Structure 1
Amino acid sequence: MKWGIMATGSIAQKFASTVNRMTDEGEILQAVASRTKESAENFARQHRIPEVFDSYKAMAESDSVDVIYIATPNNMHYENVKMCLLAGKHVLCEKPFTTSAAQAQELYALAEEKGLFLMEGFWIRFLPVLQKMQELIKEGKLGEIRYIRSEYGFVAKGDRKVRKFNPQLGGGALLDIGIYNLGFLNMIMGKNPDSFTSDVHMTDVGTDDFSVIHLHYSQENGQGAEAVATTAIGLDIQRKAAVIGTKGSIYLDDFQKAETMTVSLSDGEEYEIEIPFEINGFEYQIREVSNCIRAGRTHSGIYTPQMSLQTLSLIDDIRASWNMKFPFEK
């Protein structure tokens, strides 16, 4: 599969280095595009990429590229994805897919209409350890889920800090990393909560830097499940998660880069499952994209448009409860 990469930031660097280690699977880094030719050329030299574009549109319209990975700022995702689809390209777009569920719905419908593959790059959904976690939950190993906890926070400094909170770019902790917490909950519950409450701290520029979200899920047996998602940019919070059920629990020391988990059952049995990454964790979503395109599919069966839309819709609702709107939103 011949890949084009749109943008040259840190996440694009990680993606490019991963693709370059998958050449034996037929993955090829064919092109890179940036808003400046110098940036694209430097990126191309570093990752041995043959084609360089100083225009996103030019790469989207190039016949030499099969699929495009979009790693531009959040506020540009919608227009970039749409441009690539209209140019006839398959797309993997970095999370958050868009800044609203309505935008995402439109893009998924367009991909279906065009017969093109489209997926949000929510890469943790494909990690083998988290796939195993879902399998154990589905098998009933934990019984009925009663409580989930997910936490993620880091400290950003300098230009990175400014960029992370910039409302013009669709910034804030919720869309940047809170989506990992909420997407993790969706992996387990398979739906949005019936209700939520939250405490949030807003920055001087009008975006969030810290939140604790309490979510309630009703269940068929009448007894619901509770979840707590803690997100921060400015506090160093370990990426721990726990899933507690009536028959057992799963604990993850790093749910966002999960290679291990501890399973603790109520009968006293406790064991650890370890599945190390083959490369760095990105390889699993890349492999899924290529397999789906080769099979003629327009979306993944592991991370479907519906799953993506559920999380984006929840984020919409949370932002609305905070009265948090971006300048580019009507």
Structure 2
Amino acid sequence: HNTHYGFMKKAILNKKHILVEKSITLNSDELGELITLAEQNNVIIGEAMTVYHMPIYKKLNEILKSGTLGRVNLITMNFGSFKEYDMKNRFFNRSLAGGAMLDIGVYALSVIRWFFDSKPDNILSQLKTAPTGVDEQASLLLSDKEGQMATVMLSLHSKQPKRAMISCENGYIEIMEYPRAWEAKITYTDGRTELVSAGENSDALYYEITDMEKAVNGDKNVMCLDYTADVMKIMTRFRQEHGIIYPEEE
């Protein structure tokens, strides 16, 4: 993550469109500068965030817009990986912008932003740090002005399912392996269930590239850069509140 800003800036100044791996930058200041620079140089920048490009999320959005499930009230996100305590690897290495938030939290927050009506504006959080000082484990509570709420549980040293639960008025949506999901299960309040599928998880990179091509050809909104910026602000605020600073930010 800590190398993205420099490479992106050089590419933008050379009039190159950019699709960059998540997390797009270290912090919201870097991203804000690059967005302005991209606009000035008439180029497209986008984060390779699978959530915004997998067909299943677009299909679920259509279902929600139909009103069948009612409004989204609550979202519950889990993501936990067990990584061995090697403080030199990128997961825990402060010099490589390690930590749960930038590595896996970005997925959970992107799902929340996708389904929320507006960006979360009320955020509470707790964390446990690794010996290197980066965030090893974190929990967040978020809400937006419409009253939608979300919880997030992250860990780099405890295994959890990659599970998203979207709770609505008339049922809930369960998405397993949500970073590259291809199906979801809907459970209605009367007990009926429905399996919804779209796309293939093996084609995740293809979907990102296809949307990037659309953006280059004029449909800029398909890259969800405004959502990317909202998520980056949340992650930056989280680190600032807990005093997690990377060498590039000192």
TM-score of the aligned structures, taking structure 2 as reference length: 0.93
- In the TM superposition, 1:1-330 aligns within 5 A as 74-157=1-84, 162-219=89-146, 224-277=147-200, 279-293=202-216, 295=217, 297=218, 300-330=220-250
Q: What's the CA shift for 1:265?
A: 2.1
The alignment of Structure 1 onto Structure 2 pairs a total of residues equal to 250
Based on CA coordinates, which of the two structures has the bigger radius of gyration? 1
* 1:311 Cα deviation from its structure 2 partner: 0.4
- Deviation of 1:281 (Å): 1.4
Q: CA RMSD in A?
A: 1.8
CA contact (8 A) 1:191 1:310 kept: no
Q: C-alpha displacement at 1:158, in angstroms?
A: 7.0
Deviations, residues 257-304 of structure 1 (Å, cap 9, x unaligned): 2111011222443210122417431110111112322x2x3x732233
**Where do 4+ consecutive residues of structure 1 move more than 4 Å?**
158-161
User: What CA deviation, in whole Å up to 9, does each residue of 1:134-178 have, x standing for no partner?
Assistant: 222222222122211111111223769622111112111100010
Q: Report how far residue 215 of structure 1 moved.
A: 1.3
Unaligned runs of 5+ in 2: none
Q: Which amino acid aligns with 1:226?
A: M
Distance in 2 of aligned mates of 1:303 and 1:139: 23
Q: Percent identity?
A: 24
* Structure 1 residues not aligned, in runs of 5+: 1-73
Once the two structures are superposed, residues 197-241 of structure 1 have per-residue CA deviations (whole angstroms, 9 ceiling, x without a partner) of 22210011110011111112231xxxx222111111111111011
Change (3 A) 1:287 1:161: farther
Taking a change above 3 Å as real, the CA distance of residues 159 and 206 of structure 1, as seen in their structure-2 partners, is closer
CA contact (8 A) 1:119 1:300 kept: no
Q: Give the Cα–Cα distance (whole angstroms) in 2 for the partners of residues 160 and 125 of structure 1.
A: 31
